[in-house]
Structure 1
Amino acid sequence: MAGNEKSKSRMEQAKGKAKEATGRAVGNERMEAEGRAEQAKGDARQAKEKGKDTFRH
Protein backbone atom coordinates (compact mmCIF):
# COMPACT_ATOMS: atom_id res chain seq x y z
CA MET A 1 0.00 0.00 0.00
CA ALA A 2 2.76 2.45 0.88
CA GLY A 3 4.45 1.96 -2.49
CA ASN A 4 1.19 2.76 -4.23
CA GLU A 5 0.81 6.00 -2.26
CA LYS A 6 4.40 6.99 -2.97
CA SER A 7 3.93 6.49 -6.69
CA LYS A 8 0.69 8.50 -6.53
CA SER A 9 2.54 11.38 -4.90
CA ARG A 10 5.25 11.34 -7.56
CA MET A 11 2.64 11.23 -10.30
CA GLU A 12 0.74 14.18 -8.78
CA GLN A 13 3.95 16.16 -8.54
CA ALA A 14 4.89 15.46 -12.17
CA LYS A 15 1.37 16.19 -13.42
CA GLY A 16 1.31 19.44 -11.45
CA LYS A 17 4.68 20.49 -12.76
CA ALA A 18 3.57 19.84 -16.35
CA LYS A 19 0.31 21.70 -15.82
CA GLU A 20 2.12 24.66 -14.29
CA ALA A 21 4.59 24.82 -17.17
CA THR A 22 1.79 24.59 -19.74
CA GLY A 23 -0.16 27.32 -17.98
CA ARG A 24 2.90 29.54 -17.91
CA ALA A 25 3.60 28.89 -21.60
CA VAL A 26 0.10 29.81 -22.75
CA GLY A 27 -0.37 32.59 -20.21
CA ASN A 28 -3.18 30.86 -18.31
CA GLU A 29 -2.81 31.86 -14.66
CA ARG A 30 -5.56 29.52 -13.47
CA MET A 31 -3.89 26.47 -15.00
CA GLU A 32 -0.57 27.55 -13.53
CA ALA A 33 -2.13 27.85 -10.06
CA GLU A 34 -3.83 24.45 -10.40
CA GLY A 35 -0.45 22.94 -11.27
CA ARG A 36 1.15 24.44 -8.18
CA ALA A 37 -1.74 23.11 -6.07
CA GLU A 38 -1.30 19.59 -7.45
CA GLN A 39 2.40 19.74 -6.72
CA ALA A 40 1.67 20.80 -3.14
CA LYS A 41 -0.81 17.96 -2.77
CA GLY A 42 1.82 15.51 -4.00
CA ASP A 43 4.40 16.99 -1.62
CA ALA A 44 2.00 16.61 1.32
CA ARG A 45 1.23 13.00 0.40
CA GLN A 46 4.94 12.25 0.11
CA ALA A 47 5.67 13.82 3.51
CA LYS A 48 2.88 11.75 5.07
CA GLU A 49 4.34 8.55 3.63
CA LYS A 50 7.84 9.43 4.84
CA GLY A 51 6.42 9.98 8.32
CA LYS A 52 4.73 6.59 8.22
CA ASP A 53 7.98 4.95 7.12
CA THR A 54 9.83 6.55 10.01
CA PHE A 55 7.49 5.02 12.57
CA ARG A 56 7.44 1.60 10.89
CA HIS A 57 11.17 1.06 11.07
Structure 2
Amino acid sequence: MSLRRRRLDPSFDAPAQPPISESQPDPGMHSMTSHSEIYVRKSVRVLAAIQLQASNSD
Protein backbone atom coordinates (compact mmCIF):
# COMPACT_ATOMS: atom_id res chain seq x y z
CA MET A 1 0.00 0.00 0.00
CA SER A 2 2.71 2.49 0.99
CA LEU A 3 4.80 1.41 -2.01
CA ARG A 4 1.99 2.28 -4.41
CA ARG A 5 1.49 5.66 -2.73
CA ARG A 6 5.20 6.41 -2.98
CA ARG A 7 5.18 5.71 -6.72
CA LEU A 8 2.16 7.93 -7.36
CA ASP A 9 3.29 10.82 -5.16
CA PRO A 10 6.41 12.59 -6.54
CA SER A 11 7.19 14.08 -3.12
CA PHE A 12 7.59 10.54 -1.74
CA ASP A 13 9.94 9.64 -4.59
CA ALA A 14 12.57 12.26 -3.76
CA PRO A 15 13.81 10.88 -0.39
CA ALA A 16 13.51 7.30 -1.62
CA GLN A 17 16.25 7.84 -4.23
CA PRO A 18 18.88 10.29 -2.94
CA PRO A 19 21.60 11.52 -5.34
CA ILE A 20 24.63 9.23 -5.30
CA SER A 21 27.59 11.00 -3.69
CA GLU A 22 30.75 10.00 -1.81
CA SER A 23 29.04 10.50 1.56
CA GLN A 24 25.95 8.54 0.49
CA PRO A 25 26.40 4.82 -0.28
CA ASP A 26 25.05 3.50 -3.57
CA PRO A 27 21.43 2.36 -3.05
CA GLY A 28 22.08 -0.61 -5.35
CA MET A 29 25.02 -1.71 -3.22
CA HIS A 30 22.96 -1.27 -0.06
CA SER A 31 20.16 -3.47 -1.37
CA MET A 32 22.69 -6.13 -2.40
CA THR A 33 24.26 -6.02 1.07
CA SER A 34 20.94 -6.44 2.83
CA HIS A 35 20.02 -9.26 0.42
CA SER A 36 23.27 -11.12 1.16
CA GLU A 37 22.65 -10.63 4.89
CA ILE A 38 19.24 -12.28 4.55
CA TYR A 39 20.82 -15.11 2.52
CA VAL A 40 23.49 -15.65 5.19
CA ARG A 41 20.85 -15.72 7.93
CA LYS A 42 18.81 -18.28 5.99
CA SER A 43 21.81 -20.53 5.34
CA VAL A 44 22.86 -20.31 9.00
CA ARG A 45 19.36 -21.33 10.05
CA VAL A 46 19.45 -24.28 7.62
CA LEU A 47 22.87 -25.37 8.89
CA ALA A 48 21.64 -25.18 12.49
CA ALA A 49 18.63 -27.33 11.60
CA ILE A 50 20.88 -29.92 9.92
CA GLN A 51 23.17 -30.03 12.96
CA LEU A 52 20.14 -30.44 15.21
CA GLN A 53 18.90 -33.39 13.14
CA ALA A 54 22.38 -34.96 13.17
CA SER A 55 22.66 -34.72 16.96
CA ASN A 56 19.14 -36.12 17.35
CA SER A 57 19.88 -39.16 15.16
CA ASP A 58 22.98 -40.03 17.22
Structure 1-normalised TM-score?
0.52
Q: CA RMSD in A?
A: 1.4
Query: 1:29 Cα shift?
Result: 0.4
Match of 1:46 in 2: 47
Structure 2 residue runs of 5 or longer lacking an equivalent are 1-24
2:57 match? 56
| Bigger-Rg structure (1/2) | 2
> Which aligned segments of 4 or more residues in structure 1 are displaced greater than 3 angstroms?
none
Gaps of 5+ in 1: 1-25
Between Structure 1 and Structure 2, the one with more helix by share is: 1
Q: What is the CA-CA distance between 1:53 and the residue it aligns to?
A: 0.4
Q: Is 1:37 aligned to residue 32 of structure 2?
A: no
Aligned residues: 32
Q: State the identity %.
A: 9
TM-superposed deviation, 1:44: 0.1
Q: CA deviation at 1:36?
A: 0.5
